[in-house]
Amino acid sequence: MKFAIFGNVHQAKKPIIYMETLLRLLEERDAQVCICKEFYEFLTLNLHLQLSPSIDLFEGNDFTADMAISMGGDGTFLKASNRVGQKNIPILGINTGRLGFLADISPEEIEETLDEIYNNHYKVEEHSVLQLQCEDPNLMKSPYALNDIAILKRDSSSMISIHTFINGVPLTTYQADGLIISTPTGSTAYSLSVGGPIIVPNSKTIAITPVAPHSLNVRPIVICDDWEVTLEVESRSHNFLVAIDGSSETCKETTRLSISRADYTVKVIKRFNHSFFDTLRNKMMWGADIR
């Protein structure tokens, strides 16, 4: 098997022992390994890790593999999924970050997980992706989001007006600090932090959640993921921010945004003994009674 490895280049010495373990286990299984060049340089130059000369390097999305491995937290996983894009390569997330909702394999489980992969004893979840369409060339460089697309005010004072349409039919105008359009995957990220609903994976839905709305009767709404959301934004500063999986660009007020489900999915590797509800309870303390 061939593995493409991505990693977090901002963690201090945390990845060293885990990467040494991972690479040793892959070598024992005669796996082919290629590593993202930026991560390779971080490991060798910053952390002084000695890596095998048989390891190939790649830049951007110029790689092929049977499986991708993300070594880091959920942010690293999102970046890896963006690089994998439409390659149809499943991604395994090993968590060396904090929460680890997408990257839910602990470093202590690496050997067991690789054994299961080589024995073909694992499951692959297909996660929907959002696609943004607009006339802004900067936003069109990377228009896909596994988690969410957020429309946010750019300054720190006045709110923005977001005229929202579903399949061309007016929904409402949000007077708010912003609006989050999220996939089921992203429902437990930014959307959840501002009061959005938890949505189970593979539910074929999109959540629309306002950020600090200036109204007591505005609530999040969940729609079918084969519908199109169109947004027109008014702002006193005549511009606003568009954040695609956390990576933001300034956008002009006149820009019309269309958001719909992309024509591909991100394939996420899960162990059979891991469930979405276990993650909710164990990592987010969902339903916990601490009295």
As annotated, the active-site residues are: 74
Residue 195: helix, strand or coil by DSSP? coil
Dist CA 186 CA 243 (whole Å): 13
* Alpha helix (H) residue ranges in the chain: 14-28, 37-41, 74-84, 110-118, 190-193, 276-284
66: left (phi over 0), alpha (psi -120 to 50) or beta: alpha
Token reading at 163: 């005229």
Q: Residue 225: how many CA atoms within 13 Å on its side-chain side?
A: 23
> H-helix or E-strand containing 36?
strand 32-36
Dist CA 59 CA 67 (whole Å): 17
Token reading at 289: 């009674």
Token reading at 199: 């949505």
- Range 226-254 burial, b when 16+ CB lie within 10 A, else e: eeebbbebebeeebbbbbbbeeeeebeee
CA distances from 282 to 33, 54, 229, 248 (A): 32, 39, 34, 31
Burial of 175: CB neighbours in 10 Å, binned 0-12, 13-18, 19+: middle
